[in-house]
Amino acid sequence: MVTDRTLECRNVSRTYRAEDGVVWALKEVSMTAASGQITVLAGPSGSGKSTLLRILAGIDLPLSGTVTIGGRDLTAMRPRDRRRFRARYLAYLFQDPAANLLSYLSVWDHLALAARVRRTDPEMSLLESLEIEELANELPATLSAGQQQRAALATAMVGDPALILADEPTAELDAVSANLAVDGLVRLRRLGATMVITSHDAQVISIADAVVRLERGTVMA
């Protein structure tokens, strides 16, 4: 069990190859996301937000630098150990709400599946906290985009993970659905969730406890 949810990223760099040579996606990025808070990675498209989020999630590895969660170094883990750590203690939400859900599973089935992976029990209280308990038996196709994103947030909270990472969670939502998703993020913070979110949405940035602004792969002062 990870009791300290503080995330620390130190001197993380990442490159990719382009037609005109090597490009720095991230260069010597350092940041801290405090336990129990919402930290937003803000910046224009191409600033490195999504690249950094995938590294913080342990999905990709940096060229150099370290990422630690509760003092545990993701970058030093063996691939198998890193996969296990992600499955047990991290939750990652994609931009497209439907991409976070399996079409053949009900909302409740998603919670039950996450509970098996994290060796715990599903709790209706998670759906109640996001005001979607009446949707427990619904399939994703019957839900609005905002409801899908709330279902994904509830699934992410199963087992009280150390960290929830969300990539532009309101980018593909209409105004009403975006309001529902933002309200869901605030509710999860009240439950003690630690979140790192990429966004250029002013509404998401307004609920952040801390904002890390990126431009061209570097943190702006």
> What pLDDT was estimated at residue 3?
62
For each of the domains in the chain, give its residue range(s) and CATH number, in order of start: 7-219 (3.40.50.300)
**Predicted local confidence at residue 180, as pLDDT:** 81
pLDDT, residue 124, reads: 93
Q: What pLDDT does residue 178 have?
A: 85
Confidence of residue 190 (pLDDT cuts 50, 70, 90): confident
SS3 at position 39: strand
Closest CA to 200 of 49, 64, 7: 49
Place of tokens 């203690």: 89
Q: Please state, in angstroms and rounded to a whole number, the distance separating the CA atoms of residues 73 and 78.
A: 10
Give φ, ψ of 216 to 5 degrees. 55, 40
| pLDDT band, residue 17 (cuts 50/70/90) | confident
Calpha distance 101→155 (Å, rounded): 9
Q: What is the mean pLDDT of residues 82-97?
A: 90
Residues 105-138 pLDDT 10s: 999 999 999 999 888 999 898 899 888 999 999 9
Residue 60 dihedral angles phi and psi, to the nearest 5°: -115, 160
> How many whole angstroms separate alpha carbon 60 and alpha carbon 182?
27
**pLDDT value at position 18?**
79
pLDDT at 22: 83
Rounded Cα distance between 149 and 30, Å, is 29
Residue 45 has what pLDDT?
Answer: 87
Q: Is the pLDDT of residue 1 over 60?
A: no
Q: What's the predicted TM-score (pTM) here?
A: 0.87
- Give the strands of the sheet with 64-69, arranged side by side: 21-33, 7-18, 64-69, 72-73
In angstroms, the CA 52 to CA 71 distance is 19
- Supply 174's token pair: 């209409």
pLDDT in tens, 23-76: 899 999 999 999 889 999 999 888 999 999 999 999 999 999 999 998 899 999
pLDDT above 80 for 170 = yes
Q: Which residues pair with 196 in a beta bridge?
A: 39, 165
When the pLDDT of each residue in the chain is averaged and rounded to a whole number, the result is: 90
CB 184, CB 127: distance < 8 Å: no
How high is the pLDDT of residue 159?
A: 86
Amino acid identity for residue 151 in this structure? A
Task: For tokens 């913070």, name the residue.
Answer: 189
Q: By percentage, how much of the chain surpasses pLDDT 90?
A: 58
